[in-house]
Chain A
Amino acid sequence: MLSGFELDLPDTLVGVLDLIADGRGTPAVPLAGGTSLIVDMRARRTMPNAVVWLGKIPELRGIQVTQDHVRLGPCTTVSDILNSDELAGSGVSLVRAAEAFGGQMVRNAATVAGNIACNSPASDLVPPLMALDAEVILESRSGSRTVALDRYFTGYKEDVRRTDELITGISWKRQEESSVDLFHKLARRKGDAITVVGVAVNMAVSDGTCMRARIALGAVAPTVLRAKRAESMLEGETLTPGLIEAAARQATEEASPIDDVRASATYRRHGIQVLTARLLTQAWGRLT
């Protein structure tokens, strides 16, 4: 059973920002799909005194695709992503991650901002978003700022968000034609399972040269992270199997996996190597 708290259900963004700033004495914790927060509250890992529900504000949910940007409202659900035709053209890796995410009911509730803000290294939407160079828009009563997702996490369960700030959007530049973004989730079971290794790759190629390489890794470090040294080995190069292998090996060095009930650090390293190489090979193959 959950222990008691105050609950507000405001229908404006301003209402939410007021409540998370100081609320009625205690700053309220935002509640979106509840698929992470309610579970944590039941396990008594967190016991907020005040909670504010974001679901009454329709503007916070939705996918906007403009000429050169894609923007997700914070309360866009995983199912929204999965069922979106627009994203199928400009964020395929994110759609793949949505497909491999939880089960239907969890996908119907879970939101993209919740996936980021719950700060789990195993958050599945984060690697593809990070590989797409997504930015997080944070708003508070005192203003708003934009943070690259890549700089959002600062340590295990730590991030740059102040408690009076709400994630109000996630956006990224639409990808050029000559680019590919891919995601693969390795887990102990095919349906509804926590990720053991998640790898997202985003690559742009021009004239047989890799112009942009992004490799983002999930569940292999205290936070989702980019393997930046591996990326820089590829940019400006013509990829060969040898180079891909070397970059994948470099990616394993940048991770710091642990042993847990799902897998050992050794297996996770192996998984990064295999999946990174596999996705890079696929991306290169499709673009050349």
Chain B
Amino acid sequence: MTSETDMTHKTLALEVNGRVVETRVPAHRTLLDALRDLGYVEVKRGCEKGDCGACAVLVDGVALDSCLTLAWTVEGCSVTTVTGLGNRTEMHPLQEAFVEHGAIQCGYCTPGLIIAAHSMLSENPSPSEADIRNGLSGNLCRCTGYTKVFDAVAKAAGAMREAGETS
């Protein structure tokens, strides 16, 4: 891998889930493709045009559709995917609530929904149901009908407030 930089190719140092990874990518590479190529396949591809939210990741805590974000533009930021929030033994309250409430069916939308919910809660730790709905309206889910998703997010919000963890 060369470290040569021009205006079309360069080696990026991306901080993903707290680890810095180096990757050489062209200027037109989306963050979605860059992350998936690096093995962060929990970031899902559903439409590549901002319609579905399956590809959402946190960039400095704010949820963005990675399919509409160029990889170069997040250098120096911290990128978080759903695997960066928790793992099987230590789940994030959102992950725990999604599991407990049965808010997951095929699960393809889940990483994006959890990221969007996280971003919404860091802006608004005590959301009303209307706030939750508006915070998730960029994430399509075809399986659940969202009822259990609303319950899960409300539950997690409570748990996160109690734990004093809102970021």
Contact = CB atoms under 8 A, between A and B. Distances in A.
B53 A105 contact: yes
Contact of A105 (B28, B30, B65): B65
Contacts of A31: 70
Contacts of A99: 134
A41 B138 CA distance: 21
Interface in B113-151: 116, 119-120, 123, 133-139
B153 interface: no
Given A3-B28, A8-B7, A104 B68 contact: no
Interface string B68-97: 111011000000000000000000000000
B64 interface: yes
B136 A104 contact: yes
Contacts of A41: 28
B137 A4 contact: no
Given A105-B56, A105-B116, A192 B68 contact: no
Main secondary structure of the interface of B (DSSP, over half): mixed
A69 to B, nearest CB: 26
Q: Which of A2, A79, A99 has the most CB of B within 10 A?
A: A2
Interface in A68-108: 79, 83, 99, 102-108
Interface of A: 1-9, 24, 31, 33-35, 38-39, 41-43, 50-51, 53, 55, 79, 83, 99, 102-109, 190-192
A76 to B, nearest CB: 14
Q: Which of B64, B120, B135 has the most CB of A within 10 A?
A: B64
Contacts of A8: 7
Given A38-B30, A38-B67, 7 more contacts: A6-B7, A7-B27, A104-B135, A104-B139, A105-B50, A109-B68, A191-B138
Contact of A5 (B27, B50, B69, B73): B27
A16 B137 CA distance: 34
Nearest to B65: A105
A24 B27 CA distance: 15
Nearest to B76: A56
Query: Considering the complex of A and B, which 3 residue pairs feature the smallest CB-CB distances, nearest first?
Result: A103-B138, A191-B137, A7-B27
Contact of B120 (A5, A51, A53, A104): A104
Given A2-B30, A4-B27, A53 B64 contact: no
B49 interface: yes
Given A2-B28, A53-B70, A104-B134, A192 B51 contact: yes
B3 interface: no
A41 B48 CA distance: 11
Contact of B137 (A38, A53, A103): A103
B72 A9 contact: yes
Nearest to A107: B138
